[in-house]
């Protein structure tokens, strides 16, 4: 499949005519004949963007997503500006075909737009377009952290079983992290409507976490986890929260508790925390590199290896592999394939993975304490 969405014809229509128009467009796409319409839709995917520019990027992802998770996509754009009278609706119908097959199914997208005060009316429009019985997912694609987004998020996510967000590039990481843990507790509270919240950044860490667990496994590096005293995570621009989430996760796994933190402004921006761990004082540093892709580049964990001071180092190699080496111990680095993941891939996987992740919640609870230590 090409990575670029093909030019598609879009139809602007009144909200009340959306269903009829969708069916009409699908019939037109499918051609003459009396065969039943083939519609592919695994869920309702409500996506919120706070600008048109952002929606162009998201639109591309929705197209790519239709290969792995076809959904009724409701792309909701609510912009600041003068209030429009009504919410406008644009319809897009696209074919998704099995490779090698002449048959195809139709994937549907409705783009809703409002500005100014009319943004408050978007949740009403969304309610009327959801398909019953299909899971409802909200992808919060706006740059604001969901807990700080206000009532719009709650109204759009009223019936959602999953709320997806991406913490990459949050403008105020400490505030965002401080608010997210409490918000997660609230969103996923037992007894209410079953719901899960997921951060795409957390999903990006999957391979890092896997290799780290292998690196600290007592059968391969006995005593390394218990003796770890320092962790340094280096990341490219916009990936501070990814690094932070990894730091909070590992701190929790190592049984460390936060003692205090500070932001060190130097040539390279760095955040530093003091922890108390089983061996005593421990330290975590998250350092931003001036250049590079928006991801974690290197992690160094100082610990004892074979009873001698050493370190476990994980680093991104050629971009396709993650390597692990042991400082002070001879041997070839271990490597793990790091499959490239577009945002659409990540979302597709997350949409299918609807279980609550207690490890994420626990890590975010640690991240919250780390954030508060910076804010106070």
Partner 1 sequence: MATDLYGGKSDAPVSSPARALVPQPCQLVIFGAPGDLAWRKLLPAVYNLNVDGVLPSHFAVTGFGLPAEGGVQGEPDDYLRNRAHNGIERFSRRSLEDGHWADYSRALFFVPGSFNDARAYAQLKFRLQAVDQQFGIPGSRVYYLAVPPQLVGMCVSRLKEAGLINDPGEQHAFTRVIVEKPIGRDLASAREVIQTVGAAFDESQTYRIDHYLGKETVQNLLVLRFANSIFEPLWNTKHIDHVQITVAEEEGLAQYDDAGAMIATRAGYYEGVGGLRDMVQNHLLQVLCLVAMEPPWSLGAEVVRDAKVGVLNCLRALTSADIERNVVRGQYIEGDVRGKRVPGYRKEVRESFAVMNKSLPPESVNSTTETFVALKVFIDNWRWAGVPFYLRTGKRLPKRASEVAIQFKDVPQVLFNDHPEVPLEPTVLALRIQPEEGMAMRLACKLPGPKVRIYPVQMEFNYTASFGGEPPEAYERLMLDVMAGDATLFMRRDAVEAAWQFVMPILEHWERARVRDIPEYQCGTWGPVEADRIIQPDGRQWRTL
**Which residues contact partner 1 (rule: CB under 8 A)?**
14-16, 19, 34, 36-37, 42, 86-89, 112, 121, 124-125, 127-130, 132-136, 159, 190, 193-194, 352-356
| Minimum CB distance to partner 1, residue 39 (Å) | 8
Nearest approach, Cβ of residue 143 and partner 1 (Å): 26
Q: Please, is 91 exposed, middle or buried when counting C-beta atoms within 10 Å of its C-beta (0-12, 13-18, 19+)?
A: buried
Beta bridge partners of 283: 230, 274
Query: Closer to partner 1 at the Cβ: 112 or 205?
Result: 112
Give me the least distance between CB of 37 and partner 1, in Å please. Answer: 5
Contacts of 220 by beta carbon, 8 Å cutoff, 6+ apart: 214
CB of 358 to partner 1, least distance (A): 8
> Cβ closer to partner 1: 127 or 262?
127
The neighbour count for residue 61, using CB atoms within 10 Å, is: 21
Bridging pattern class, strands 162-165 and 136-140: parallel
Nearer to partner 1, 298 or 356 (CB): 356
d(CA 81, CA 120): 13
Cβ nearer to partner 1, comparing 307 with 355: 355
φ and ψ at residue 367, rounded to 5 degrees = -60, -35
Please report how close the Cβ of residue 313 comes to partner 1 at its closest, in angstroms.
30
15 or 148, CB closer to partner 1? 15
In the complex, the smallest distance separating the C-beta of residue 329 from partner 1, rounded to whole angstroms, is: 33
Task: Name which of 44 and 92 has its Cβ closer to partner 1.
Answer: 44
Length of the chain: 376
Q: Report DSSP letters for 240-258, one per residue.
A: HHHHHHHHHHHHHHHT-EE
């Amino acid at each position: 499949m090409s990575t670029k969405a093909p030019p598609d014809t879009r139809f602007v229509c009144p909200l009340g005519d959306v269903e009829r128009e969708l069916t009409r467009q699908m019939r037109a796409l499918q051609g003459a004949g009396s065969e039943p319409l083939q519609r592919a839709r695994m869920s309702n995917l409500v996506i919120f963007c706070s600008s048109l520019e952002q929606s162009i990027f998201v639109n591309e992802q929705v197209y790519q997503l239709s290969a792995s998770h076809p959904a009724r996509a409701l792309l909701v754009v609510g912009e600041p500006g003068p209030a429009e009278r009504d919410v406008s609706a644009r319809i897009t119908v696209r074919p998704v075909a099995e490779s090698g097959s002449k048959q195809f199914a139709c994937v549907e997208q409705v783009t809703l737009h409002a500005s100014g005060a009319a943004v408050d009316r978007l949740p009403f429009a969304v309610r009327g377009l959801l398909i019953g019985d299909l899971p409802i997912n909200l992808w919060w694609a706006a740059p604001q952290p969901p807990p700080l987004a206000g009532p719009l998020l709650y109204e759009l996510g009223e019936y959602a079983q999953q709320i997806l967000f991406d913490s990459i590039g949050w403008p105020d990481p400490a505030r965002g992290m401080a608010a997210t843990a409490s918000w997660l507790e609230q969103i996923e509270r037992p007894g209410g409507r079953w719901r899960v919240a997921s951060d795409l950044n957390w999903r990006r860490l999957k391979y890092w976490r896997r290799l780290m667990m292998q690196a600290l496994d007592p059968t391969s590096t006995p005593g390394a986890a218990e003796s770890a005293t320092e962790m340094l995570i280096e990341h490219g621009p916009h990936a501070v929260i990814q690094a932070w989430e990894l730091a909070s996760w590992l701190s929790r796994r190592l049984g460390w508790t936060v003692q205090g933190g500070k932001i060190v402004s130097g040539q390279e921006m760095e955040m530093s925390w003091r922890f108390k761990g089983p061996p005593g004082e421990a330290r975590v540093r998250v350092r931003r590199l001036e250049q590079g892709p928006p991801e974690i580049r290197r992690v160094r964990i100082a610990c004892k290896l074979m009873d001698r001071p050493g370190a476990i180092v994980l680093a991104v190699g050629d971009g396709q592999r993650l390597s692990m080496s042991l400082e002070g111990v001879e041997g070839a680095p271990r490597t793990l394939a790091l499959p490239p993941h577009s945002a659409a891939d990540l979302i597709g996987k997350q949409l299918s993975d609807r279980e609550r992740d207690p490890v994420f919640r626990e890590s975010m609870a640690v991240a919250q304490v780390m954030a508060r230590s910076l804010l106070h």
